[in-house]
Structure 1
Amino acid sequence: MSKFDRYLLSQLVALFGFFSLVLVLVYWINRAVGLFDDLISDGQSALVFLEFSLLALPNVIRLVLPLSAFAATIYVVNRLSQESELVVMQATGFSAFRLARPVVSFGLIVALMMLVLMNVLVPASRAILAARSAEISENATARFLRDGAFLHPADGVTLYIREISDTGELMDLFLADDRHPLRSTVYTARRALLVRTDTTPKLLMIDGSAQTLTREGRRLDLTRFDDVTYDLGSFMTPSGTDRRGIEELSTRELFSPTDALLEETRSTRAAFLYEAHSRIAQPFLGLASSLIGFAALLLGSFSRFGLWWQILFAVVLLILVQTINVAASGAGIAQDALWPLAYAAPLTGLAIGVLLLWNAQRPRRLRRAMRGIFAS
């Protein structure tokens, strides 16, 4: 690699790291706010919040890498143009395709990072995140059993516990169940225990009473009991630990979907094939976005005010590629034979980049016509 290639590549990598850090923080903070509210309101600790945030990071990084690569390329090329460094290299005889060589190397580095993320880290983190979510959803003690506070685990249900002993015994429990349209029941107990079963957790109340008010006729029945069992699963959503999502499967499983996997994920063969090929194709959006940003800015001439029209043109082209990606995603999961649409956006982006590079080294008359388009 020549000295100029190393210089340009180092500039791209440094700015890529900076923009990636900024965009990841923005995405992560945006998602962490909602995650914090959900976990803390359910009684989880800050460590659980940190664990869930870290597990969500691989998918966030996957989303921002193409944007970071595009932003880094635009920034570096615009700065080199303002400082006349690109003009000097072009004057020495470097063609547009020769100048793009370090950009292609940079794009391939980004593509390799995305390949590792999409085929290894993201599925693994999604699987661990789903398992931990199911585990926490079954943890009724952390979700519902907090002493000294009125809790509302479901609409029409109110729970109050005066104290939870060191052995896990619930002292002086109050439970009001007002979900039935014709009657409401209030349970009080001196002691209670949380009992786990194979299906759902149950609340064993000891030495208490149940007051049932029948709305029709305004009748109040009082029943004293030594012990009674209350099913907490009546207002707990099922965890679904035995069912995985398509995002949690490995790429090998996606390429060879079995009937068992289709039934487990409740998905279609078309969705499996499109997701598998998407994990191979999407990483090259990083290369395409870098190439589009670099080639679009080569169309402009030196200006101390920068290449703002070319930058706007590159942004429009990137939006076009992303639009194709979204449209292809919607159509690709509809039929088995449409899995090649997963490659539509990356190939379109690469084709646009190559076409712009070819146009950038055309005779001056054609380049002047292109600049006239920007000026208009």
Structure 2
Amino acid sequence: MSKFDGYFLRQLLVLCGFFAFVLVGVFWISKAVSLFDKLISSGQTAMVALEFTALSLPSLIRTVMPMAAFAATVYVTNRLNRESELTVMLATGTSPMRLARPVVLFGLVCAVMLGTITLYLRPASLQRLEARQAEVAGDMTAQLLNDGQFMHPVKGVTVYIGNIGRDGTLSDVYLSDRRRPEQVVTYTSSKAFLARSGEQVALVMVEGTALRMDTKTKLLSTTVFSDFTYDISALARRDEVRARDIRGIPTLELNRARLGGSGADTYSHGDIVEELHERLSWLAISVAVAMVGFSTLMLGTFSRFGLWPQLLGAFALLVAIEGLRGVASATVTENPDLWWLQHMPALSGIAVSVLFLRIAGRPIRPRRRAPELA
């Protein structure tokens, strides 16, 4: 590797890290704010919300990494061209194809990072996130700790809490149990507490009233109590037969399912093949976006207006590659035998980049003038 290659590669890696940090920070903050508000309002602690946002980072990094690689390539190439460093290298006889070597190495480095995230870290984080979401969904205490709104833990049960004190005291509690159509019971109390013993959860109401309505005899009975305990363990939402998210299945297990192993009965063969090759296609995407950004800018010649036409062309190619990936995913899901289509957008981007570099390296021959007539 020459000194220029090392210099070019270092600039690409530094700028890619900077752009990735900025993009991840922007998207993570926008997502974390809504997630913090949702979880904390549901009665969860800040540590649970922080854990959820941390588990979403691998998916977020995988999404922004190609954009960061493309932005770094375009920025560094444009700066080297503006400062005439690429012009000097071309004047010494170095071809654009030779100048693309550090860009290819940069794309391979990004491919290794994306492969680690896509094939291992992201499925593991989604699997853990799915398990934690199931735990939070089954936490009855978190479901009930919402003040100022009517909640329906299960069909036929309505709960309302007017206010929740800092010490956990529930004020102005309303509970309506209509699970038995022949007998409707409504409980109201000025104060209440949640008590937990193992998996048993009880709502202890203090200074309240129980209204019991017999729908057959049309009789209404009223009972005033000083304290009353209502078992709410059966109201907890627990989804025992919840299907695993295919994105959280480990890659090796997904490959075994493609061959007919466990998991093949949960998802169709097309879904499994599409997910597996979608993960593998990210390896070539990082190389493709870097080469597209560099090769498109190499088509430009000196202009006082800069390389804005080439920049717009590179961005258009990036959008086209992403659009083709969406079409390929839908096609592979319908017809798994066409799995190779999943890799065609990235390979097409690399092929177009090689074509652009060959065009940029072709010398411009001046036109011959026609011989003047005597």
Partner of 1:75: 75
Q: Is the 8 A contact 2:332 2:338 kept in 1?
A: yes
| 1:191/1:74 CA distance change after superposition, 3 Å | closer
| 1:162/1:62 CA distance change after superposition, 3 Å | closer
Post-superposition CA distance 1:135-189 (Å, at most 9, x none): 222222244248xx55633384214688798xx9x88883322767988632257
Partner of 2:274: 274
Post-superposition CA distance 1:235-264 (Å, at most 9, x none): x5434586421111111111121464134x
Partner of 1:371: none
Deviates more, 1:116-125 or 1:209-218: 209-218
Partner of 2:263: 261
1:363 aligns to what SS in structure 2?
Answer: coil
Identity percentage of aligned residues? 39
Distance 1:161 1:37 in 2: 18
Distance 1:53 1:163 in 2: 27
Distance 2:66 2:119 in 1: 16
Distance 2:175 2:148 in 1: 11
Describe how 1:301-340 pairs up with structure 2 within 5 A. 301-340=301-340
Q: Calculate the TM-score normalised by the size of structure 1.
A: 0.83
Distance 1:164 1:31 in 2: 27
Describe how 1:1-12 pairs up with structure 2 within 5 A. 1-12=1-12
| 1:14/1:171 CA distance change after superposition, 3 Å | closer
| 1:191/1:91 CA distance change after superposition, 3 Å | closer
Tell me how many residue pairs correspond in the alignment.
355
Distance 2:307 2:83 in 1: 12
Structure 1 position 154 matched with structure 2 position 156: no
Residue type of the alignment partner of 1:177? S
Post-superposition CA distance 1:64-98 (Å, at most 9, x none): 01011000111111111111111100010111110
Distance 1:87 1:179 in 2: 80
Q: Is the 8 A contact 1:176 1:184 kept in 2?
A: no
Q: Is the 8 A contact 2:114 2:283 kept in 1?
A: yes
Partner of 2:350: 350
Describe how 1:77-156 pairs up with structure 2 within 5 A. 77-145=77-145, 149-150=147-148, 152-154=150-152, 156=158
Distance 1:322 1:162 in 2: 48
| 1:274/1:80 CA distance change after superposition, 3 Å | same
Structure 1 position 176 matched with structure 2 position 175: yes
1:282 aligns to what SS in structure 2?
Answer: helix
2:210 aligns to what SS in structure 1?
Answer: strand
| 1:284/1:162 CA distance change after superposition, 3 Å | closer
Q: Is the 8 A contact 1:123 1:247 kept in 2?
A: yes
Post-superposition CA distance 1:345-375 (Å, at most 9, x none): 2111111111111111123259xxxxxxxxx
Name the Cα RMSD after superposition.
3.2
Partner of 2:371: none
Partner of 1:296: 296
* Deviation (angstroms), 1:216: 9.7
Residue type of the alignment partner of 2:151? P
1:283 aligns to what SS in structure 2?
Answer: helix
Distance 2:255 2:219 in 1: 63
| 1:22/1:171 CA distance change after superposition, 3 Å | closer
Partner of 1:26: 26
Q: Is the 8 A contact 2:141 2:194 kept in 1?
A: no
| 1:98/1:192 CA distance change after superposition, 3 Å | closer
* Deviation (angstroms), 1:109: 0.4
Distance 2:77 2:148 in 1: 60
Deviates more, 1:65-74 or 1:223-232: 223-232
Q: Is the 8 A contact 2:6 2:102 kept in 1?
A: yes
Deviates more, 1:28-37 or 1:316-325: 28-37
Distance 1:300 1:191 in 2: 72
Structure 1 position 62 matched with structure 2 position 56: no
Distance 2:249 2:64 in 1: 22
Residue type of the alignment partner of 1:203? A
Distance 1:251 1:338 in 2: 20
Distance 2:194 2:92 in 1: 85
Q: Is the 8 A contact 1:270 1:339 kept in 2?
A: no
For structure 2, the residue ranges without an aligned partner over 5 or more in a row are 367-374
Distance 1:302 1:171 in 2: 73
Distance 1:175 1:191 in 2: 13
Distance 2:361 2:296 in 1: 12
Distance 2:73 2:163 in 1: 59
Q: Calculate the TM-score normalised by the size of structure 2.
A: 0.84
Q: Is the 8 A contact 1:295 1:357 kept in 2?
A: yes
